[in-house]
Amino acid sequence: MTTYDPNNIFAKILRGELPCEKVYEDEHTFAFMDIMPRADGHVLVIPKNPSRNLLDADPQDLERAIATVQKLARAVKAGMNADGITLQQFNESAGGQVVFHLHFHILPRWEGVSLRPHTGAMAAKEDLQRHAQAIRAALK
The whole-number pLDDT of residue 1 equals: 62
pLDDT band, very low/low/confident/very high, at 140 (cuts 50, 70, 90): confident
Question: Residue 71 sits in which domain range?
Answer: 9-139
**Mean pLDDT throughout 30-42?**
98
**Would you say residue 3 lies in a domain?**
no
At 34, which CATH number? 3.30.428.10
Per-residue pLDDT tens over the stretch 79-137: 999 999 999 999 999 999 999 999 999 999 999 999 999 887 899 999 999 999 999 99
**Would you say residue 1 lies in a domain?**
no
**Mean pLDDT throughout 56-60?**
97
What is the number of other CB atoms lying within 10 angstroms of the CB of residue 23?
Answer: 26
The whole-number pLDDT of residue 118 equals: 85
The whole-number pLDDT of residue 87 equals: 98
Are 36 and 128 within 8 A, CB to CB? no
What is the number of other CB atoms lying within 10 angstroms of the CB of residue 125?
Answer: 12
Looking at the predicted structure, is the pLDDT value of residue 28 above 70?
yes
pTM: 0.96
**Mean pLDDT throughout 14-29?**
98
Compute the distance between CA of residue 25 and CA of residue 128 in angstroms, rounded to an integer. Answer: 17
DSSP letters, 54-106, are TTTS-HHHHHHHHHHHHHHHHHHHHHTT-SEEEEE---SGGGT--S-S--EEE
Q: How many domains is the chain built from?
A: 1
User: Which residues are known to be catalytic?
Assistant: 103
Q: What mean pLDDT, rounded, does the chain reach? A: 96
- Residue 43's beta-bridge partner residues? 33, 106
